[in-house]
């Protein structure tokens, strides 16, 4: 199959499930994943990898426990903002009004990390699905 | 310094140079780079890495020699499209009407690859600049 550009709007149109990343393409041993999100994800941490977020539409909030003694704070990513959660940092993404996001992370990275709170029904624990 | 979200519009507002990627953030040992581009880049190839492109504004064309016997073709990335140039493939980005792009590639990757045609004055041979 010829390697052709992928239109992200078309890719987002191909699925509806929330918090269920789709793998758009691969770069070496990394995935480029997209997800539709709304409401709260789950507190989790990736022990061995940073995680990159780009907000393509809407607003994403990421609660972080990266303060002194694990103090909690929240960052707000508006449309067109990027953010990297460093490896090991417990975080919980949320999007009260919904958002469309793009992520870069090593192939095989779990959406709920290596350590996590109990995973609620609406969160898909996955290493990403094909589009 | 606290790790805060970066607004890409603000980041693009901080420089004017064309074909001169700025490093927005790092993900493990990868850079997230942004660039303003217009006109033609140079034919080049990265021997050891794929290269990811996302078009944030405008249109990007990438000429490729990935056909049988190195036959040339061109892909068109409209705003909101992504594309990965596989390692080893000779390519030449261009943007007749200008574009703003985001790239994802290993830290240290040269903007003109490991093999390239003579680099014209308007192309910055760099591993990326700080914002």
**A78-126 per-position pLDDT tens digit:** 999 999 999 999 999 999 999 999 999 999 999 999 999 999 999 999 9
Count of domains for chain B:
1
**Measured between CA atoms, how close is B114 to chain A, in angstroms?**
17
- Closest residue of chain A to B11, computed from CA coordinates: A81
**Measured between CA atoms, how close is A99 to chain B, in angstroms?**
16
Please tell me the predicted confidence (pLDDT) of residue A67.
Answer: 74
- Residue A2 belongs to some domain of the structure: no
- Other CB atoms closer than 10 Å to residue B118's CB: what's the count? 7
State the average pLDDT over residues A34-43: 98
pLDDT over threshold 90, residue B78: yes
Of B19, B49, B20, B22, residue with least CA distance to B33: B22
- Residue B3 belongs to some domain of the structure: no
Residue A51 confidence class, pLDDT cut points 50, 70, 90: very high
Residue B86 confidence class, pLDDT cut points 50, 70, 90: very high
Judged by CB atoms closer than 8 Å, whether chains meet at A5 and B66 is answered as no
* Tens of pLDDT, residues B34-55: 999 999 999 999 999 999 999 9
- Closest residue of chain A to B57, computed from CA coordinates: A80
- Residue A98 belongs to some domain of the structure: yes
Q: How far apart are CA A105 and CA A95, in angstroms?
A: 20
- Residue A42 belongs to some domain of the structure: yes
Of A34, A10, A27, A12, residue with least CA distance to B103: A27
E-strand stretches of B1-131: 6-7, 22-27, 30-40, 44-45, 51-58, 60-64, 73-77, 81-85, 91-106, 115-116, 129-130
- Residue A1 belongs to some domain of the structure: no
Using a 10 angstrom Cβ sphere, with 0-12 exposed, 13-18 middle and 19 or more buried, the burial of residue B65 is middle
Judged by CB atoms closer than 8 Å, whether chains meet at A27 and B104 is answered as yes
CATH number of the domain bearing residue B94 = 2.60.120.10
Please tell me the predicted confidence (pLDDT) of residue B1.
Answer: 63
Residue A70 confidence class, pLDDT cut points 50, 70, 90: confident
Structural domain of residue A96, as residue ranges? 8-130
- Residue A3 belongs to some domain of the structure: no
- Residue B28 belongs to some domain of the structure: yes
Q: Which residues of A touch B75 (CB under 8 A)?
A: 4-5
Judged by CB atoms closer than 8 Å, whether chains meet at B84 and A52 is answered as no
- Residue B2 belongs to some domain of the structure: no
């Amino acid at each position: 199959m010829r390697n052709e550009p992928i239109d992200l709007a078309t890719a987002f149109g191909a699925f509806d499930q929330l918090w269920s990343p789709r793998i758009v393409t691969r770069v070496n041993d990394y995935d480029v994943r997209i997800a539709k999100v709304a409401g709260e994800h789950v507190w989790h941490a990736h022990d061995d990898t940073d995680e990159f977020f780009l907000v393509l539409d809407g607003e994403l909030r990421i609660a972080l426990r990266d303060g002194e003694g694990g103090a909690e704070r929240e960052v707000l990513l508006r449309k067109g903002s990027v953010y990297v959660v460093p490896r090991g940092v417990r975080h919980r993404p949320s999007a009260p009004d919904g958002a469309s996001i793009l992520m870069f992370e090593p192939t095989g990275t779990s959406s709920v990390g290596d350590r996590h709170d109990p995973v609620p029904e609406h969160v898909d624990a996955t290493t990403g699905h094909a589009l």
